[in-house]
Amino acid sequence: MDSGLQMADGGLASKSIRELQALMESGACTSRDIVEAVAAQIEAVDGDIHAYLEVNKEAALMDADAADARRAAGEKGPLLGIPVAIKDLLNVKGQSCRCASKILEGFTSPYDATSVAKLREAGAIPFGRVNMDEFAMGASTEHSAFGVTRNPWNLDHVSGGSSGGSAAAVAAHTAIVSLGSDTGGSVRQPASFCGCVGLKPSYGRVSRFGLTAFASSLDQVGVLSKSVADAADTLSVIAGHDPRDTTSDPAAVPDYAAALGEDLRGMKIGVAEEFFGEGVDPEVAASVRAAIDQCVSLGAEVVPVSFPHLKYAVSIYYILAPAEASANLSRFDGIRYGNRVEAEDPVSLMCKTRDAHFGDEVKRRILLGTYVLSSGYYDAYYVKALKARALIKQDFDRVFEQCDVLMSPVAPTTAYKVGAGAQDPMALYLGDICTIPSNLSGGCGLSVPCGLSEAGLPIGLQILGPAFAEERILRAGHAYEKARGAFEMGQ
Amino acid sequence: MKYLPTIGLETHVQLNTRTKIWCGCKVDSSAEPNTHVCPVCMGYPGSLPVLNAEAVRKTVQTGLLLGCKIGLRSKHDRKSYFYPDMPKNYQITQYDEPLCLGGSLDIEVNGVKKTVHINRIHLEEDVGKSTHLRGTSGVDYNRAGTPLMEIVTEADMHSEDEAFAYLTALKRILQYGGVSHCNLEQGNIRCDVNISVAEVGSKTLGTKAEIKNMNTFRGVHRAAAYEIKRQIRAVETGTPLVQETRRWEDDQGMTTSMRSKEDAHDYRYFPDPDLAVITLTEAQVDAWRADLPELPEAKRLRFVEELGLPEYDAGVLVADVEVADYFEAVCASANGNAKSASNWVMTEVMRVLSERGQGASELNVSADALGKLILLVDKKVLNNSKAKEVFAVLLEEGGDPDAIVKDKGWAQVSDSSALESFVNQVIEENPSVVEDYRGGKGAALQFLMGQVMRLSKGKANPKMVLELLKERLA
């Protein structure tokens, strides 16, 4: 292992959800043992990685004991007794929820996000708050107000983002599984950078209630895990309609685990050359193409498709997302909660608070969003971007008439060095080109590790599906993953 | 040179739903500050709005009462500006696809009828309430998230009297519709007044000023009158007017500038991505239409045609929906004696309400009790003057008229032998008055009547006494 990371406990913390369920079921370990093992691993390696902003071990141990009692009483369930690391923008009652921002220092959540409540109901244990780019704005977790999260595969490199803490924790075995959020690739890209599985469900599949909003029409709670099966199990727990989120979908939740199989006979894989265009590292392209070939060997068929409007995706996103964010982040003003800079009157208090406690990237996007919504610019930017968003959706509709899933790289490159992107935000924005379209369309997407670069950094295969076709992308990802074999650091 | 003022009103009406527009918190402005709040109405991170269906129904029904076209597709938008009383620093409102479009309201000023056109009605959220204490400020978010309807007129009114008449007529419709408590002291109805002045015959309007946040109709009248005079004076003296927002200073009786157009907010409206588009079906709107309460004019006609009330009575009774409802309940309890019910309500009841500043629903004489009282008079158990005494007892102590009459022994004496002895006694004791009557002084009979009533402690059946007296003195 290049990073020289030490595994404190090669045992429980490195196992998948399914392996741990088998161990707990047989009595070989308890939920308490698992929480202890994860805590020990955090103790051992997180000082170098810095995935965690906060670790609530005592509360987690109590929850673990409760889960063990439930199991003793005969209860079963895919996440019963499993600790889950929570991205710092999901509300967990009684915990901090800083969104990696100074502006929310001192804030304590008065309620559980619906996804967190569903975890608790299933007997899972919210354990620790993991790092992210401030308010999910960024793709490297360098924009956290509380320090960068480093890539466990190579500590000189970024973990990706914005769910960088979630991905790094799963990769470093400091988490069994983690919840993140994906607005333009924020689950899939760090999963790709850190060599773990990242699932972005369809818009409306998982309730957004309690997920601090970045861009409401794009945000979706996602899962970062060690395997596709673990992602499927976690999704089956957190998915479903929520009366408190009117954008959540009433469709029944399918049995995602039942959808998993080991062959891909009859599956049509769309491949659009636009996703392998300029800027995509040849090493990345080659690895992804090899993965697609492997799927073919499992019985799938490749269908060449086109995605003519891909080149507009980044522009559309960087108009719509900041526009929504500029309003969503208005509430952070120091009046009702969080950090405050005192001033002589309430309006200057708000101005000074926001000026002092938002980071540069957040300010950049608020300004961008405020600009595109301003009178005189609204039609030229916001309205035009909405129209172009419909074109992206049309591209997907046409593609999915011809194939079942679309496969592509997750990101054009592997994880870059810490600090490398700081000089050129535009280049960083372009790194989201492969992931953004599925947020714009509301479809689902999966990131599965498919290889290592020469420098020893992970590469991710992206599997996209239409809205509410999670079963399809999970089936494809799972079959590929089985065929690929183990993907572990240091192997 | 003559000037024509032009006035348009934007009226904010708090709906009387049980809960707030986006969350389940109770609407209760009288509670201790910040006791009816939750993560949603406090704008906490991660919270999301869910539209209150009752608020939609009440807004649509208001639209139907005002003859609006109902938007089967409408949506909510975010209006951004920073102020501490607004928890999210954007207000969720409806920008370009409101629930109701068009419509009108008829008013009458000095006997002249006219129609004020409604431009739109949209549904939005109210904000919190700022209080400035010594050296510090406080915000009460109980009010934040109260469903608020904004009713926007066309620039159709041309005097402060017309604006006042419009607001009065609007309030009556809102009360009739049962959509708002319409309590002005509690800020249930607040309005912004847009005023400009132009020369008579001018094809364009003058430069407008908007007077913000008026919460009494009287204040609107005074502010509009002041503003019209101010603008005419400015035009006459050649002082340029700027488009601006002004504030009414009630104690000084004048408007002052708040901000000019250059400083106006850019609200950066855009569709709220947290809320689905509202789609209504024709069938739903029809069901709400069928469920509309009767309007004053229809009620007036029914009172005249079906209950046989005089036009005057009907007009007085329908002016206040609570009074009209009370009257109908009294009438039903009095076996349909509409005229007696009307007399009682228009005299005793309305007098008490006005003395006490109460609404009819707060009166402690139940409509049922008053109806029973009327029945006692109809059955000649009570005469009118004793009935008023019973009413006074009801007013102070409540209770049942039959029991009160029995308890106090107030039943009318209609027993002719008892009455005869009173009559005989009075004739014997007042020989000179008897002489006067026989000499042709009709008024003398009234005196003798009074004496009989006194002897009977007011319980004698006046009709029978009169007949007996006439008979004996003939």
Q: What is the pLDDT of residues A65-93, one digit of tens each?
A: 999 999 999 999 999 999 999 999 999 99
> How many Å separate Cα A263 from the centre of its chain?
27
Condensed to tens digits (0 to 9), the pLDDT of residues B422-441 reads: 888 888 888 888 888 888 88
On whether both B348 and B215 belong to a single domain, the answer is: no
On whether both B263 and B309 belong to a single domain, the answer is: no
- Looking at the domain assignment, is residue B360 inside a domain? yes
What mean pLDDT comes out for the span B96-107?
Answer: 97
On whether both B354 and B398 belong to a single domain, the answer is: yes
Q: Other CB atoms closer than 10 Å to residue B253's CB: what's the count?
A: 11
**What 8-state DSSP symbol labels residue B307?**
T
On whether both B145 and B39 belong to a single domain, the answer is: yes
**A373 vs B42: CB contact, 8 Å cut-off?**
no
Which of B283, B305, B323 marks a domain boundary? B283
B474 — pLDDT class (breaks 50, 70, 90)? confident
- Looking at the domain assignment, is residue B289 inside a domain? no
**What 8-state DSSP symbol labels residue A296?**
H
Q: Is A140 known to be catalytic?
A: no
On whether both B208 and B163 belong to a single domain, the answer is: yes
**CB < 8 Å to A245, chain B:** 48, 50
**A327 vs B90: CB contact, 8 Å cut-off?**
yes
Amino acid identity, position A190: P
- Looking at the domain assignment, is residue B435 inside a domain? yes
What pLDDT shows up at residue A305?
98
Give the closest-approach CA distance of A330 to chain B in angstroms.
Answer: 5
Condensed to tens digits (0 to 9), the pLDDT of residues B283-338 reads: 999 999 999 988 888 899 999 999 999 999 999 999 888 999 999 999 999 999 99
Tell me whether strands A83-87 and A177-181 are parallel, antiparallel or unpaired. parallel
**DSSP-assigned letters across all residues of B124-166:** EE---EEEEETTEEEEETTSTT-EEEEEEE-S-B-SHHHHHHH
**CB < 8 Å to B269, chain A:** 373
On whether both B361 and B432 belong to a single domain, the answer is: no
- Looking at the domain assignment, is residue B288 inside a domain? no
What pLDDT shows up at residue A490?
60
A2 — pLDDT class (breaks 50, 70, 90)? very low
On whether both B246 and B327 belong to a single domain, the answer is: no
A3 — pLDDT class (breaks 50, 70, 90)? very low
What pLDDT shows up at residue A8?
47
Give the closest-approach CA distance of B130 to chain A in angstroms.
Answer: 10
Looking at chain A, which residue has its C-alpha nearest residue B130? Answer: A346
**What 8-state DSSP symbol labels residue A276?**
G
Residue from A245, A247, A330, A348 whose CB has the most chain B CBs within 10 Å, to mutate: A330
A301 — pLDDT class (breaks 50, 70, 90)? very high
Q: Is A226 known to be catalytic?
A: no
What pLDDT shows up at residue A6?
52
B132 — pLDDT class (breaks 50, 70, 90)? confident
On whether both B76 and B225 belong to a single domain, the answer is: yes
**A246 vs B44: CB contact, 8 Å cut-off?**
no
Identify which of A186, A193, A236, A75 has the alpha carbon closest to the alpha carbon of residue A445. Answer: A186
On whether both B151 and B246 belong to a single domain, the answer is: yes
**A209 vs B88: CB contact, 8 Å cut-off?**
no
Question: Which of these ranges, A351-355, B261-265, B282-286, has the smallest mean pLDDT?
Answer: B261-265
Which residues form the domain of B374? 294-408
Catalytic residue among A186, A202, A248, A287: A186
**B87 vs A331: CB contact, 8 Å cut-off?**
yes
The partner residue sitting opposite B45, judged by closest CB among A97, A324, A327, is A97
On whether both B49 and B22 belong to a single domain, the answer is: yes
User: Regarding the domain delimited by A12-308+392-484, which CATH topology (the fold level of the hierarchy) does it fall under?
Assistant: Amidase signature (AS) enzymes (3.90.1300)
Taking the C-alpha atoms of residue A22 and residue A74, their distance in angstroms, rounded to an integer, is 15
The mean predicted confidence, pLDDT, of chain A is 95
Q: Other CB atoms closer than 10 Å to residue A206's CB: what's the count?
A: 32
Q: What is the CATH number of the domain that holds B436?
A: 1.10.10.410
Give the closest-approach CA distance of A114 to chain B in angstroms.
Answer: 10
Which of B260, B283, B306 marks a domain boundary? B283
Q: Is A16 known to be catalytic?
A: no
Taking the C-alpha atoms of residue A254 and residue B164, their distance in angstroms, rounded to an integer, is 61
- Looking at the domain assignment, is residue B434 inside a domain? yes
Condensed to tens digits (0 to 9), the pLDDT of residues B153-177 reads: 999 999 999 999 999 999 999 999 9
Which of B356, B391, B408 marks a domain boundary? B408
**B82 vs A330: CB contact, 8 Å cut-off?**
yes
Give the closest-approach CA distance of A375 to chain B in angstroms.
Answer: 7
What mean pLDDT comes out for the span B97-117?
Answer: 96
Query: Which sequence spans correspond to the domains of chain A?
Result: 12-308+392-484
- Looking at the domain assignment, is residue B221 inside a domain? yes
Residue from B20, B48, B88 whose CB has the most chain A CBs within 10 Å, to mutate: B48
Residue from B268, B269, B275, B277 whose CB has the most chain A CBs within 10 Å, to mutate: B268
On whether both B277 and B400 belong to a single domain, the answer is: no
Interaxial angle between packed helices A228-238 and A17-26, expressed in degrees from 0 to 180 and rounded to the nearest 10: 80
Residue A103 near residue A339, CB atoms below 8 Å: yes
**CB < 8 Å to A326, chain B:** 80, 268
Number of domains in chain B: 3
On whether both B233 and B304 belong to a single domain, the answer is: no
**B45 vs A324: CB contact, 8 Å cut-off?**
no
**B273 vs A247: CB contact, 8 Å cut-off?**
yes
Residue from A112, A336, A368 whose CB has the most chain B CBs within 10 Å, to mutate: A336
Residue A187 near residue A211, CB atoms below 8 Å: no
Give the closest-approach CA distance of B69 to chain A in angstroms.
Answer: 26
Asked whether the predicted pLDDT for residue B444 surpasses 50, the reply is yes
- Looking at the domain assignment, is residue B439 inside a domain? yes
A4 — pLDDT class (breaks 50, 70, 90)? very low
Q: Which residues contact B208 (CB under 8 A, 6 or more apart)?
A: B194, B195, B196, B243
**B46 vs A326: CB contact, 8 Å cut-off?**
no
The partner residue sitting opposite B273, judged by closest CB among A110, A324, A346, is A324
What pLDDT shows up at residue B1?
61
- Looking at the domain assignment, is residue B231 inside a domain? yes
The mean predicted confidence, pLDDT, of chain B is 92
